[in-house]
Structure 1
Amino acid sequence: MRPVRIGWVRLRPARWKPSLSLTLEVAAALAIWELAGRMKWIADGALPAPSAILVRLWIDWADYPPHLAATLTTAAVGFLIGNAIGIVCGTLFAFSPVAERLFRGVNVAIFALPAIAIVPVLVLTLPSDGARIVLAALGCYFTTMTATMVGLASADPRGIDVVRGWGGGRAAVFRYVRLPAAVPAILSGLQVGAPNALLGSILAEFGGGGRWGLGAYLIGSLGRAEPDRLWGIGLVATACAAVGYAAFGLLGRALTGSVRAATLPTGTAALPAPALGRSGRLALAAGAVLMPFALWWGAVAASGLPAMLVKSPLDVFAYLTAGPRAEGVRERLIGALAETLPPSLAGVALGVVAALLLAVLAEAAPRLARLMMPLSLFTQAMPLVALTPILVLVFGRGTAVMLAVTVSVTFFPAYVLLAQGLAAVPQGARDLGRAYGASRWRELRLIALPAAVPHLFAAIRLAAPRAILGVMIAEWLATGTGLGNLLNRARGMLDYGMIWSVAVLSVLVSVALYELVSAAEGAVMRRRGG
């Protein structure tokens, strides 16, 4: 259809129709939400109507500026620090497989540390807003580091051959091939990092005892039985996270066109691991196991805090083996782990499958994916301490609420990585499939999904530690079972030996899951290469 000019206005029907359709879809979703809130269809009013939330926001708006300023300031500082370290370390690990293998346990341990256990220690150890900045930085580091490694390793080997053919060395290959190829992946890590930094700052505010911050405001509002205020705080946090997410998404779309390959590469340009003998491999494995404990020991020694509060590796080992209640402690830990692990594994599967489905929908039905994105951002930015009580009203206090919380914390980062992997498929490869009459779904199945396999494994590696953390938070706040409940009871009794034991056990399980996923990825990639 031709454009229609009415005075100074030029209407383009082909462009206007999708915008109008999206507007109608959003309006319909809001109308259904309004009706559900007014009629109290969900958990007797646990989901307020949008109008009620907006009215509460208008009433409370004068309270928000100092809380927003406190949270956003610490989140921004932590975001810059965590992502800078993540990019530098991801580059180092991509070029030095020995360093990556040596620090793998440290990296996963940092990512898997339960915030609910380390916040009191950070608050006592670090001055002023240090705990908020550290948790915000920790929330960004692992995802950006992983994304950087994936991006640098996914460079087109043909481009590397061209640069080397013209006499370029490793620096030239990095500058002209690897770094441009890694830009989309790094930006996807920054996209995930923006909500993560905000969430880390808010979590630190729960145990920080400070006056200002969205977390402090939320804690003060939990006991008032006002779900509209809780949802208002959550929506404000979601809006802040969405701004950061959208900003890096726009930047990624602006840059992706200049770094996308014209055709589909036949392989990846991952840097080969050095040839190590059996003794070298054993030494590297031993170093990888010992490195987290060495750094832990050094941090405890440097903190200067009393031994009752901070525990060294030997202290935890003695607590579990030689203490007066060691046998009972071990039985409680094993029993709690048996309750926490099954829903964690189920949560990983559900979260990654949901992320993959939405990523595929984003390719096949972009408008539907855009409708679901606000909900995805809300589950990522809404503090779990506020979200979990609402989910309890909806799902009860059983396994369903643990799965809901776990999916909410694993889904979003997995989706971002998978969407980036599908979007990075060269247009030439898509055009080739269409030239042979392939439908969009067949194109996704035969071209896009196989090309996104590295991103799928990266998503699973990110989801596994977060799933355990999500289940522990649900157990701590809702179900009264598993490691989360054990940690909560230990906090109440000031049993720091048990607190550190739960933290160490959760980290060890997360590292084990990470290694299993890495081994499975290696087997799959070797099979594809063969």
Structure 2
Amino acid sequence: MKSPRCCMSLNKDGHLKGIVATIGLLVIWEIVGRLDLVAGGALPGFSEILIRLWVDRADYPQHIMATLYGSGLGFVFGNLLGVGAGIIFAMSPVALRLWRGVNIAIFALPPIAIAPILTLTLSGMTPRVVLATLGVYFVTMTATVIGLSQADSRAIDVVRAYGGGNWAVMRLVQLRGAVPSILSGFRVAAPNAVLGAILAEFGGGGRWGLGAYLLGSLGRAEPDRLWGIGLLATLIAGLSYLVFALLSERFLGASRAVTMNTAIPDSQIGAQGPFARIALLAGACALPFGLWWLFIRLLSVPDMIAKTPLGVVNYLFYAPSSANAQGRLWQAVAETLPITFAGMAAGLAVAFVLAISTRLYPRILNALMPVALVTQTMPLVALTPLLVLLLGRGTSLTLWVTISVTFFPAFVTLAQGIALVPKGARDVPRAYGASAWQEMRMVTIPASLPYLFAATRLTVPRALLGVMIAQWLATGRGLGNLLNQSRGYMDYGMIWTVAVLSVILSVVFYQLVVFAERWVLSRLGMQTAE
């Protein structure tokens, strides 16, 4: 058994190697940039970016404060809503089923589609706060539900044996055990809030904000300024991630389970009759459309801008131009779906390999985390000129963008699940001579399957969104390009149609993952976390 002093020494050695690796990457970056080895100078040297940041230093304070204000409020509101909704959903499976359509719709709404709509219907900083809140809510809610549902059933039985009710179980067992999972959700949600605010600034106008500054800097042939803006956004998002990563590390040790828990809780939904299940399904399908209609009516948005569900149906099927709209829409879908599946599979594969590698080879995490954070937090619009020059405007660019926006949340979720596998369970096969990989295959991977499915659920909507972002910014194909063209032509009917269709596709894919999760985990005698 290693002494605490030895473990501290190993941790310091790992951090030191991570710092050395980061410095090495910066040196390589400087050499490549100074010699203009990448796309004729599209990647400036690191020192050139720092110099440009100093030259432009007077421009940044108000832009940074505007982005921090929007993302900060969105982070707070999104997490409050996410944790509160997660508690309600964990205590009431009926509420979880009823609101599932709304939850997925919130997460799957493409910010690039709704930013101009929010700008026209809301005032001031509200569109940025709303988009940041939407980017945070689903991740935190999902992490909360997962953490609460994975509570040890034996501890719950003890509380109930002493007369405790549902709230006592929640307060004494579930919430305490869910702290690591909730903090893991905060880690992913923090960069999401920054990105949501920047996308709103980029797509929704406004004078101040890093996104607005970035929009005004595009087309000036100044890659050093674009990279400077991107690095500042990355720094803000990375620091927010680091805060909650440190908190998660602090609380994880005290909350880690010591034994396996494979009991399946009683299914309150399954005990209901077929009529109740059908009514619940109908309510889950109708609720998003009801809230959509209510939002438009409460804000009194003009009919030309805001389309109700019936308005979208009329635009797509009954208007004089419906045949042309259908043709453009289905052509865009055919260009988007294949690359979405490929990007989702690639993103999950990268996340799975990295999550396993962090257990087998912990030092890999120190070397790869800076790169992972950059790909997660660097605004894609800042990287677009470089990516287009490096990869062209085809499939490789779209795949890169899709993997970058999908693998990081999946990786964090998978790494959390692997870290929560009890040490006692892992020691059993090792005592019989199993190798580290054999132990991983026999114990760790099966025990973390709920987190694998949770990562897949997170990846499904993000994969579609990543493809649409790439198509919107660079490739000129698919749903993203159709959305961009519709904004230019002020074709609000098509904007709403693309947004609705992307949500429907995400819901369908999400539900297929849920069905697969139920089947696999029920066969293994494990509980699901919806």
TM bucket by the smaller chain? over 0.9
Name the CA shift for 1:44/1:436 in 2 (closer, same or farther; >3 Å). Answer: farther
Answer whether contact 1:156 1:268 (CA < 8 A) is retained: no
Query: Could you tell which deviates more after superposition, 187-196 or 469-478?
Result: 469-478
Counterpart in 2 of 1:118? 114
Pairwise CA RMSD: 1.8
- CA distance, structure 2, for counterparts of residue 268 and residue 404 of structure 1: 39
- CA distance, structure 2, for counterparts of residue 332 and residue 222 of structure 1: 29
User: Structure 1 residue aligned with 2:49, among 37, 50, 53?
Assistant: 53
Counterpart in 1 of 2:462? 466
Counterpart in 1 of 2:218? 222
Counterpart in 2 of 1:34? 30
User: Structure 2 residue aligned with 1:135, among 131, 138, 141?
Assistant: 131
- CA distance, structure 2, for counterparts of residue 482 and residue 513 of structure 1: 18
Counterpart in 1 of 2:200? 204
Query: Could you tell which deviates more after superposition, 502-511 or 50-59?
Result: 50-59
Name the CA shift for 1:471/1:14 in 2 (closer, same or farther; >3 Å). Answer: closer
Q: Does 1:291 align with 2:287?
A: yes
User: Structure 2 residue aligned with 1:412, among 408, 416, 430?
Assistant: 408
Counterpart in 1 of 2:271? 275
Q: Does 1:157 align with 2:153?
A: yes
- CA distance, structure 2, for counterparts of residue 126 and residue 325 of structure 1: 29
Shift of 1:34: 2.4
Letter in 2 for 1:341: L
Counterpart in 1 of 2:390? 394
- CA distance, structure 1, for counterparts of residue 79 and residue 423 of structure 2: 30
SS of alignment partner, residue 421 of structure 2? coil
- CA distance, structure 1, for counterparts of residue 229 and residue 351 of structure 2: 25
Name the CA shift for 1:85/1:13 in 2 (closer, same or farther; >3 Å). Answer: closer
- CA distance, structure 1, for counterparts of residue 124 and residue 266 of structure 2: 43
User: Structure 2 residue aligned with 1:240, among 236, 240, 245?
Assistant: 236
User: Structure 2 residue aligned with 1:369, among 357, 365, 370?
Assistant: 365
Counterpart in 2 of 1:350? 346
Q: Does 1:263 align with 2:263?
A: no
Q: Does 1:338 align with 2:338?
A: no
Letter in 1 for 2:476: G
Structure 1 gap ranges (5+) = 1-11
Answer whether contact 1:136 1:197 (CA < 8 A) is retained: yes
Counterpart in 1 of 2:432? 436
Letter in 1 for 2:487: R
Answer whether contact 2:384 2:474 (CA < 8 A) is retained: yes
Answer whether contact 2:394 2:475 (CA < 8 A) is retained: yes
Name the CA shift for 1:489/1:526 in 2 (closer, same or farther; >3 Å). Answer: same
Runs of 4 or more consecutive aligned structure 1 residues displaced over 6 Å after TM superposition: 12-15
User: Structure 1 residue aligned with 2:304, among 304, 308, 311?
Assistant: 308
Name the CA shift for 1:280/1:484 in 2 (closer, same or farther; >3 Å). Answer: same
Name the CA shift for 1:83/1:20 in 2 (closer, same or farther; >3 Å). Answer: closer
Shift of 1:458: 1.0
- CA distance, structure 1, for counterparts of residue 174 and residue 370 of structure 2: 33
Counterpart in 2 of 1:88? 84
Counterpart in 1 of 2:379? 383
Shift of 1:121: 1.5
- CA distance, structure 2, for counterparts of residue 264 and residue 184 of structure 1: 17
Answer whether contact 2:234 2:374 (CA < 8 A) is retained: yes
Counterpart in 2 of 1:249? 245
The percentage of counterpart residues that share the same residue type is 56
User: Structure 2 residue aligned with 1:453, among 425, 428, 449?
Assistant: 449
Shift of 1:365: 2.1
- CA distance, structure 1, for counterparts of residue 9 and residue 163 of structure 2: 53
User: Structure 2 residue aligned with 1:71, among 67, 73, 92?
Assistant: 67
- CA distance, structure 2, for counterparts of residue 477 and residue 40 of structure 1: 24
Shift of 1:445: 2.1
User: Structure 2 residue aligned with 1:480, among 476, 479, 503?
Assistant: 476
Counterpart in 1 of 2:514? 518
Q: Once the two structures are superposed, what CA deviation does each residue of 1:200-246 show, in whole Å capped at 9, x if it has no partner?
A: 11111113332211111111211221222211111111111111111
Give the TM-score, by structure 1 length. Answer: 0.94
Q: Once the two structures are superposed, what CA deviation does each residue of 1:125-162 show, in whole Å capped at 9, x if it has no partner?
A: 22210001000100000001111111111111122122
- CA distance, structure 2, for counterparts of residue 18 and residue 112 of structure 1: 38
- CA distance, structure 2, for counterparts of residue 222 and residue 270 of structure 1: 56
Answer whether contact 2:217 2:225 (CA < 8 A) is retained: yes
- CA distance, structure 1, for counterparts of residue 137 and residue 16 of structure 2: 40
Q: Once the two structures are superposed, what CA deviation does each residue of 1:465-508 show, in whole Å capped at 9, x if it has no partner?
A: 11111111111121111111111111111111111111111111
Letter in 1 for 2:396: A
Letter in 2 for 1:420: Q
Letter in 2 for 1:152: L
Shift of 1:268: 5.2
- CA distance, structure 1, for counterparts of residue 74 and residue 276 of structure 2: 37
Name the CA shift for 1:190/1:20 in 2 (closer, same or farther; >3 Å). Answer: closer
